[in-house]
Amino acid sequence: MTAAGLARMLPGLATVDLIESEDIGIVGVGEATLPHIRGFVESLGIDEAAFMKATHATYKLGIDFRDFGRIGESYIHPFGSFGEEVAGVGFHHYWLELQRQGLAGEIGEYSLAVAAARANRFTPPAGDSSLASTYGYAYQFDATLFGPFMRDFGIGIGVTRHEGLVVDVERDGASGNVTALVLKDGRRIEGDLFIDCSGFRSLLLGGALEEEWEDWTHWLPCDRAAAMPCTHASDDIRPYTTATAMPAGWRWQIPLQHRMGNGYVFSSAHISEDEACEAIRHSAEGKPLADPRILRFRPGRRRRSWSHNVVGVGLASGFLEPLESTSIYLAQMAITYLIELFPDGGAIDPRDRDEFNRLVDMEYDRVRDFLILHYNATTRDDSEFWNHVRTMTVPDSLADKLELWQRAGRIEKYADGLFYDASWIAVYVGQGMLPRRHDSRVTLADPMRVRNALERLRQEIGTQVSAMPGHRDYLMSEAARLADAA
Amino acid sequence: MSEARERLRRIAIAGGGQLGILTAIALRRALPDAQVVVIGLPPDPAGFADRASTALPFTNRLHDRLKIDETQLVQRAGGSHRLVTRYFGWGDEDQVGEKQNGAMAYGATLDPQLRTRFAQEWGGGRSAGGGASPPGSLAEVLADAGRFAVPPGDVSTPIDQVDYALRWNMPAYREMLIAMAQQLGAQHVAGTMEALQPDGAGGLAAIAIAGQGLIEADLFIDCSGTQAHLLSALPEAKRQDWSAMLPVRRVLHAIPGEPMLALEDRFSLLPEGWLCEFAGRDGLQVTLALADGVSEDAALRALGAGPAGLVQMEPGCAQLPWCGNVIALGDAAASFEPLGFLNLDLAHRQLALLLEMLPGRTIEPLERAEYNRRALLMAQQVRDTLAVHYASPRARQVFGACELPPSLEAALDQFARRGRLPFRDEPALLVQEYMALLRALGFAEGTTPQSRSADQRSVEASRQAFAAQARAALEFTPPYQQFMQQALQPQPVASDLQY
């Protein structure tokens, strides 16, 4: 992604060398993304259909969270809104009031994205400001195909690829900057700027530069994943990712065109790797296509993502578990900020480095609080893991958000970073954390009129969803463009 | 199970200027069963928000929401339209000794493709030694041609991306608002405040008005002007001093000149300070903000017209504009010189924030904290936007060096070296507007890495597409005078009271 992004966005300003080794595999999981990925694909000039076909991608309208707030309950966090505000008061306040009176359905019934997801249907959103425009979508794709696709695209626009393993990192004694990477066969690759996309190993940033790591395990205790693909169990392909809470973490199901990705993200302090592998084998809906593989990680981030002349992108700079599909987003934002702050003529200005680190930190911190909410907003007391996350002390920044919600039904507003009102409302309400009070103005309106308006919205959503094709049908009817016929 | 909060029953607004009245309208619309009492107080001569005859495009949106009809405003309150603000003399002199001038238009100003080095050179920008900005704003094209129409909104037109600010005759506008507030059932009490009764919880229980008795309320809104009569009396209240960053202490108003219909207003930098020339159907208004040490004679000469009044001021803002059950808006929350028409714009954005976060009868400390967090960010963004004027190349010579807020220093550095501005929460201007302002003030703009490697064919295509848009916009719009004649034709009056 980084090589392709730099080559496309800064042609003529930098030559890009990509060093990778066939000996290091790509983590073979389905990868779920956020709607931002569409902007990335588009700005590279890649045709969406070609991209989807090459990566066996499906559409994604949100994430279905099961058993998080309470066993047996589920909700969808959609890429879309719930209803509309009325007279300056957010929809959820009216919904809370009607719900108290027993006059409202589930909040998801007032979201087109949720209703379409539940019905396994998909069509792209409208470009106007109608109800059909109130959602977005992302992709679910095969990471083992996505990497090579981006690599080949990058090579096609001028990236030079070097096959080989990095065995040594040369640094300038005075500045500490990295000057060259030495490969196993003795080749030496020099550069002005080095981007560390080496994943958890963080070969340059964590390894050579020993950039300090800020550990977030005390808030996000999951540190392993057992990943395993399986066949589709039914003819339907879900246009959403499923996250199901487990006794020591949660498991994902990511539907691709040709198979389903599964994985159990767990805390090794609460369950062994063998037990996790057994659990993922046991829970797979389709026929396993491989043995489970264990991935090990540590949640947190480097204190500085850009240090000296090394920029960490993706897991090399930080890791947040994939509960909200943020990994590719965080990599994409780092690439975007790097392009904006790309060094002039090879010289790095410390002010640009500081600005980059400020922006990356802001992104990580905001995602972090939102992830912790999924664990903390629960009544589950059926395992040591859930007892721990339910009762742990959360960051102050999150504690204030929780209290503001509980006391007044309000969401702390910020304009940058991920996850706005609708996302917070989806998780709060979905996990059973209703506020104690909501906006006083909702009782000014005649409850029957509000109820009728909500009912009309629900019916209109139902009508529009009924008119959408099934997700699989949509992919197959456009197979020449979107789907891999195989 | 969540329950609706108990609604506010009685709200007292201290200050009967245009902001206090507008607040009363907003609150009566939001809470039709609440008693809203406006306490008329003597106007504050330094209350630049309350005395403003214009704001920024956000106000048009607020008017729509509060059902304040723009057509009526034009017909009954001397309304007119501004597309650009021009800045004269703020930049350094160019190679032939001409002072750099520039303009700031509202809304989207430049196609990113046109912000490349190629386009800047093509447009005769700084590097070509010219002075013209690259042609990238439809509003500027229209202002240059003296043509205008209000984008209809419901059908697609060539001027959909054009945004504008309104001007008005303040006393007439206030009368219009008073009529509407009365129709909506807001009450008015005139008199002098004799005493404030604390509520024992950091707020107020009542205000004693001479001859009127006690005004009790659940919530008090302080629109009393720079003295912040309510807020400043509370134990928690604290003011943030901006005087190290903003140098102006004296503002001189001229007697209004001849009526003037124009789509632009001007801020010129003179050796004595900055001069605002503000067009209006009721007369040209001229204001001079004085640099330190300028003599009265020099000031009067620079003003160019008879003086109407001198205002002394100290810039700053409330650290906590919401304390207890008292919320300060406008001049009571932040006071600063009338540069860039930001005073009333900030007040209106504060009012919108209050409506968004309108409390119940029992106020939650955390909602107060969240309001204060956002309101303070808003005020500081305005402070930075003002401070950037005094950091411009020539303003330093006139006003002396001022302290730069660290956030502004970082922004100017990014603009100068990289052609970008760091994103901030609660900004005073859109990023494109801010960039246009910096150019207009004569700051040299760096280029983005992307622009240095941009494909020149796509830049040329963007330029041609813009030229076509500009032609279509010019064909679509009549001369402003013609537009205004049409707008002043009597039209059927719609009821204000449908809710």
- Structure tokens belonging to residue B313: 């001021």
Q: Please provide the distance, in angstroms rounded to a whole number, between the alpha carbons at the two ends of chain B.
A: 30
Least confident piece of the model among A2-11, A341-350, B4-13, B52-61: A341-350
| Preferred mutation among B5, B156, B431 to probe A, highest tally of A CBs within 10 A | B5
pLDDT at B116: 44
Q: Are residues B129 and B58 in the same domain?
A: no
Residue B230 domain-assigned? yes
User: How far B410 CA lies from chain A's nearest CA (Å)?
Assistant: 8
CATH assignment of the domain containing B14:
3.50.50.60
Using CA atoms, how far apart are residues A459 and A461, in angstroms rounded to an integer? 5
Residues A356-365 have pLDDT tens digits of 999 999 999 9
Whether residue B397 is predicted with pLDDT greater than 60 in this model: the reply is: yes
Q: Which of B5, B8, B358 sits opposite A438 (nearest CB)?
A: B5
Find chain A residues with C-beta within 8 A of B420's C-beta.
340
Q: Are B359 and B69 contacting, i.e. CB atoms less than 8 angstroms apart?
A: no
CA angle at B474 for the pair B469 and B479, rounded to the nearest 5°:
160
Q: Closest Cα partner for A270 from A121, A144, A384?
A: A384
Q: Are residues B398 and B466 in the same domain?
A: yes
CA distances in angstroms from A383 to A65, A321, B338, listed in the order given: 18, 20, 62
Q: Are residues B319 and B236 in the same domain?
A: yes
Residues A428-445 have pLDDT tens digits of 999 999 999 999 999 998
CA distances in angstroms from A6 to A152, A166, A192, A195, B449, listed in the order given: 14, 21, 14, 11, 10
Q: Are residues B123 and B223 in the same domain?
A: no
Chain A residue at shortest CA distance from B455: A11
User: How far A176 CA lies from chain B's nearest CA (Å)?
Assistant: 25
The DSSP bridge partners found for residue A169 are A181
Using CA atoms, how far apart are residues B333 and B328, in angstroms rounded to an integer? 5
Q: Are residues B207 and B272 in the same domain?
A: no
Mean pLDDT, rounded, for B244-248:
97
B453:A99 CB<8 A: no
Residue B479 domain-assigned? yes
pLDDT at B92: 79
pLDDT at B129: 30
- Structure tokens belonging to residue B153: 């909104």
The DSSP bridge partners found for residue A411 are none
A410:B370 CB<8 A: yes
Find chain A residues with C-beta within 8 A of B448's C-beta.
340
Find chain B residues with C-beta within 8 A of A414's C-beta.
425
Residues B33-90 have pLDDT tens digits of 999 999 999 999 999 999 999 999 999 999 999 999 999 999 999 999 999 999 999 9
Residues A202-230 have pLDDT tens digits of 999 999 999 999 999 999 999 999 999 99
Whether residue A424 is predicted with pLDDT greater than 50 in this model: the reply is: yes
B31:A444 CB<8 A: yes
The burial class, CB within 10 Å (0-12 / 13-18 / 19+), for B9 is middle
Q: Are residues B47 and B185 in the same domain?
A: yes
Q: Which of B358, B417, B449 sits opposite A339 (nearest CB)?
A: B449
CA angle at A78 for the pair A279 and A332, rounded to the nearest 5°:
85
B326-328/B322-323 β-pairing:
antiparallel
Identify the three-state secondary structure at position B462.
helix
Using CA atoms, how far apart are residues A264 and A278, in angstroms rounded to an integer? 10
CA distances in angstroms from B99 to A277, B144, B397, listed in the order given: 73, 19, 14
Q: Which of A60, A184, A401, A413 is catalytic?
A: A60
Residue B90 domain-assigned? yes
DSSP 8-state code for residue A308: T
Q: Closest Cα partner for A263 from A300, A298, A290, A233?
A: A290
| Preferred mutation among A95, A357, A440, A446 to probe B, highest tally of B CBs within 10 A | A440
Radius of gyration of chain A, Cα coordinates, nearest whole angstrom: 23
Which residue, chain included where needed, has tokens 């629960």?
A378
Residue B46 domain-assigned? yes
Q: Is A102 on the interface with B (CB under 8 A)?
A: no
Radius of gyration of chain B, Cα coordinates, nearest whole angstrom: 23
- Structure tokens belonging to residue B142: 């229209």
Q: Is A438 on the interface with B (CB under 8 A)?
A: yes
The 10 Å Cβ neighbour count of residue A188 is 11
The percentage of residues in chain B with a pLDDT greater than 90, rounded to a whole number, is: 76
- Structure tokens belonging to residue B195: 């005493």
Whether residue A399 is predicted with pLDDT greater than 80 in this model: the reply is: yes
What string of DSSP letters covers B394-412?
THHHHH---PPPHHHHHHH
The 10 Å Cβ neighbour count of residue B249 is 16
DSSP 8-state code for residue A27: P
User: How far B453 CA lies from chain A's nearest CA (Å)?
Assistant: 6
In B154-261, alpha helices (H): 170-183
Q: Are A264 and A249 contacting, i.e. CB atoms less than 8 angstroms apart?
A: yes
pLDDT at A28: 56
Residues A364-398 have pLDDT tens digits of 999 999 999 999 999 999 999 999 999 999 999 99
CA distances in angstroms from B165 to A302, B28, B336, B482, listed in the order given: 46, 25, 20, 19
* ipTM of model over 0.85: yes
Residues B214-234 have pLDDT tens digits of 999 999 999 999 999 999 999
User: How far A60 CA lies from chain B's nearest CA (Å)?
Assistant: 29
Q: Residues 114-153, chain A: which have Cβ within 8 Å of B?
A: none
Q: Are residues B333 and B209 in the same domain?
A: yes
Find chain B residues with C-beta within 8 A of A439's C-beta.
4-5, 358, 360
Active site residue A184: no
Q: Is the dihedral of CA A316, A318, A323, A329 positive or negative?
A: negative
CA A15 to chain centre: 30
Show Cβ contacts of residue B213 under 8 Å, excluding neighbours closer than 6 positions: none
Mean pLDDT, rounded, for A269-295:
95
Using CA atoms, how far apart are residues A212 and B275, in angstroms rounded to an integer? 53
What string of DSSP letters covers B3-41?
EEPPPP-EEEEE--SHHHHHHHHHHHHH-TTSEEEEEE-
Identify the three-state secondary structure at position B310.
strand
User: Between these two residues, B304 and B219, which has the higher pLDDT value?
Assistant: B219
B273-278/B239-241 β-pairing:
unpaired
Q: Are A348 and A338 contacting, i.e. CB atoms less than 8 angstroms apart?
A: no
CA angle at B286 for the pair B284 and B291, rounded to the nearest 5°:
170
Q: Are residues B353 and B464 in the same domain?
A: no
Q: Are residues B181 and B217 in the same domain?
A: yes
- Structure tokens belonging to residue B24: 């009363």
Residue B234 domain-assigned? yes
CA distances in angstroms from A21 to A150, A183, B178, listed in the order given: 15, 10, 75
Whether residue B186 is predicted with pLDDT greater than 70 in this model: the reply is: yes
* Boundaries of domain holding B184: 10-78+168-240+314-363
Q: What is the count of structural domains for chain B?
A: 3
Whether residue A272 is predicted with pLDDT greater than 50 in this model: the reply is: yes
A408:B367 CB<8 A: yes
Mean pLDDT, rounded, for B353-381:
96
What are the two backbone dihedrals, phi and then psi, of residue B490, each rounded to the nearest 5 degrees? -60, 140
Q: Closest Cα partner for A418 from A338, A332, A352?
A: A332
Find chain B residues with C-beta within 8 A of A436's C-beta.
2-3
Q: Are residues B54 and B92 in the same domain?
A: no
Q: Which of B4, B31, B413 sits opposite A97 (nearest CB)?
A: B4
Residues B98-128 have pLDDT tens digits of 666 788 988 755 455 554 444 444 333 333 3
Domain A1-73+140-401: homologous superfamily in CATH: FAD/NAD(P)-binding domain (3.50.50.60)
Q: Are residues B158 and B173 in the same domain?
A: no
A415:B426 CB<8 A: yes
Q: Are A329 and A33 contacting, i.e. CB atoms less than 8 angstroms apart?
A: yes
- Structure tokens belonging to residue A296: 């090990």
Q: Which of B65, B367, B452 sits opposite A410 (nearest CB)?
A: B367
B32:A444 CB<8 A: yes
The DSSP bridge partners found for residue A135 are A80
Q: Are B226 and B331 contacting, i.e. CB atoms less than 8 angstroms apart?
A: yes
What is the domain partition of chain A in residue ranges? 1-73+140-401
Whether residue B290 is predicted with pLDDT greater than 90 in this model: the reply is: yes
Q: Which of B356, B418, B453 sits opposite A88 (nearest CB)?
A: B356
pLDDT at B108: 58
pLDDT at A30: 60
CA atoms within 13 A on the CB side of B92: 8
* Region for B98 from its dihedrals, namely left if φ exceeds 0, alpha if ψ lies in -120 to 50, beta otherwise: beta
Using CA atoms, how far apart are residues B179 and A279, in angstroms rounded to an integer? 71
B65:A88 CB<8 A: yes
Residue B368 domain-assigned? no
Q: Are A217 and A300 contacting, i.e. CB atoms less than 8 angstroms apart?
A: yes
User: Between these two residues, A130 and A378, which has the higher pLDDT value?
Assistant: A378
What are the two backbone dihedrals, phi and then psi, of residue A444, each rounded to the nearest 5 degrees? -70, -30
A340:B449 CB<8 A: yes
Q: Are B474 and B160 contacting, i.e. CB atoms less than 8 angstroms apart?
A: no
Which residue, chain included where needed, has tokens 């209290």?
A403
User: Please, what is the average pLDDT of chain B?
Assistant: 90
User: How far A41 CA lies from chain B's nearest CA (Å)?
Assistant: 17
Q: Are residues B329 and B387 in the same domain?
A: no
Which residue, chain included where needed, has tokens 């084998």?
A281
Residue B496 domain-assigned? no
User: Between these two residues, B293 and A418, which has the higher pLDDT value?
Assistant: B293
CA distances in angstroms from B253 to A56, A104, B286, B287, B332, listed in the order given: 69, 58, 6, 5, 21
Mean pLDDT, rounded, for A348-358:
94
